[in-house]
Amino acid sequence: MKVYKRFKFKIVLVTFSFGFLITSCAKNQKAQVFTGEALGTTYQVKFFHDTELPIEKGLDSIFEVINRSMSTYQPDSDISKINTGDTSIVIDNNFKKVFKASEKIYLESNGFFDPTVGNLVNAYGFGPESRKDSLNTRIIDSLLQYVGLNKLKLTSENRIVKDLPGIYLDFNAIAKGFTVDVIAEYLNSKKVANYLVEVGGELVAKGSNMDSEEPWVVAIDDPLQKEGEREFEATLYLKDRGMATSGNYRKFRLDSLNGQRYVHTINPITGRSEKSNLLSASVLAKNCALADGYATAFMALGLERSQEMLSKIKDVDVYFIYAEDEEVKVFSTPGFKKVLRTE
């Protein structure tokens, strides 16, 4: 299996319950498992089918096509060419779908999910074009003029037009989830009815795990575990939905004055790296691309504004881990509570 030039993704907090899911076959359906590295992370695909399906070449093709379209780590990708000012690029259907999904979440989040934050991501040292000089208020303010998805337009000829040439588009906060969806569509085309697809911790599940004759089981990491530990905050059944988790609670800071836990997230409105009491956001949605984008948006919004946004959108359930009064607490929607395992 090839290893392609990578996307750089946010920290993965969801683990794929892989070891205990692979057992014997059931009901004449053979369990087939494919693992590897792509997009700068790992992937795992498990499905059941009554015949052997050699999908390695199909997976290779999916990763290659998405990298060629949307990898900011690949200089000759379409998105890299657009970022460097090439106005002749006609985007493919994958790029178009991700752009449209990004627009949706950008509007719903009032700009807190914004793929044009790429210049700031690079400035803070998290992207492929990290700055060498020190970051200060003057630099941040100068870069803010290039932030705003409303400063881009997708034309009827499928070209991206920028208001300012310096705008840097970065889909890394949604492209991994979208890739999961593309793999799921590929399995659907092969008439696979029961599968679990995971790329770097983002997942989509269909049908059941026929080994256990139950829905697929996935887990959310315990935010207080130490590096190298493998403790779960919760496990849940995942069926016919996408799931993504965003967060950086492994890198939280303790306030020296009040002992409160905080994480730092780049606010696309102010351009600043701001404190947030939301340590992680696990999201269930109708597909993984939306789950991925919403999870990123919630981390930027913080707990209270995320709860406000949730009251205005449909078909989204969440499991938030947050800090309050020097304690780690949980907020979850009724829909998420329904799928949590209690044993």
Known binding residues: 173, 292, 296
**Interatomic CA distance for residues 248 and 263, integer angstroms:** 7
Q: Which residues are annotated as a binding site for Mg(2+)?
A: 173, 292, 296
Residue type at 61 in one-letter notation: S
The amino acid present at 9, given as its one-letter code, is: F
Residue 187 CA to residue 191 CA, distance in Å, equals 7
Cβ neighbour number for residue 274 with a 10 Å cutoff: 15
CB 174 within 8 A of CB 289: yes
Largest CA distance in the chain: 65
Q: What does DSSP assign to residue 157?
A: T
> According to DSSP H, which parts of 192-237 are helical?
none
Show the DSSP H helices in 21-134 as ranges: 56-70, 78-83, 93-108, 118-123
DSSP bridge partners of 323: 328
